Amino acid sequence: MTTKKAYLIGSPVAHSLSPKMHNLAFSQLKINAYYEAIDVQNDELQEIIQSFRRENFIGANVTMPHKNNVIKYLDELDITSKLSSSVNTIVPKDDKLIGFSTDGKGFIDSLTTYDVNIKEKKILILGAGGAAKSIIVQAALDEASQIIIAKRKNSSYQDTINFANTVTNTTNCTIKVIDINSSILEASINESDILINATPIGMKENDTSIIPAKYLNHNIIVCDLIYEPNLTPLLKSANDLGCKTINGKYMLLYQGARSFELWTGNKMPIEIVKAKFFS
């Protein structure tokens, strides 16, 4: 029987844990499929997506910088990827390629590992890129009571306000946008239950915390989507204050598990994958 193919497309992808995760899950469930990461540049994207229509294709993940660009080559989108304009999972169905965004669900699933439920919580999220938008849409659909987006006041600020208005009108959640560098950031953090860093600040060795430590209080749960390093400067200052802190490690696991289920109809053997790669 022919082996089905799954891919991660993006650039860079060499460091990704996804092939190991999915190949272990395929072999555990005796699914004849193989997952491979391929480095894809912008000018190669259309051709790669076309090849998915011809191949023995089971599904793909999409990562930076293609989460938005890929949309124009797909046939349909689920509600989260439509509202967030971000696709991290492609699923073939009846000769069509359908885009999904599992980042938001993966993040919210990861919180349950720490007994955190976002229902009726006030959330402040730093950044408004693909991962942030997927989390915002999912949190709004899952009945967070309020979401404040703090982002730089640059050319995409108005687009973020438009996005916030669209999600507010589609869900029961109030979403507003503030300038990350304005004086209301501290008060906005103070009125929130959960703070999420969805910017890349904290990944590099010499990065300092994205916000001053004095803006935090010990009651707030502080999350960072970054998992390498596992303790970013933001999480370190939150830990020092005694806050509950959560990094992006299990988001990676659970967004992958959601993709796996969309491709195969089977639950990923989470505990086996977790024990092997996430302990």
| Shortest reach from residue 8's CB to ligand NAP, in Å | 12
Q: Least distance from C-beta 1 to ligand NAP, angstroms?
A: 32
The answer to whether residue 67 is catalytic is yes
Nearest residue to ligand NAP, scored by beta-carbon proximity? 129
Q: Which is nearer to ligand NAP, 146 or 199 (CB)?
A: 199
Rounded to a whole number of angstroms, the minimum distance from the CB of residue 151 to ligand NAP is 5
Closer residue to ligand NAP (CB): 24 or 64 = 64
Tell me phi and psi for residue 41, to 5 degrees: -90, 165
Shorter beta-carbon distance to ligand NAP: residue 1 or 14: 14
The binding site for ligand NAP (CB under 6 A) comprises 64, 103, 127-132, 151-152, 154, 156, 180, 198-201, 203, 225-227, 248, 251-252, 255
- Options 4, 67, 105, 133, the catalytic residue: 67
Find the shortest distance in angstroms from Cβ 55 to ligand NAP.
Answer: 26
Which of residues 189 and 201 has its CB atom nearest to ligand NAP in the complex? 201
The residues annotated as belonging to the active site are 67
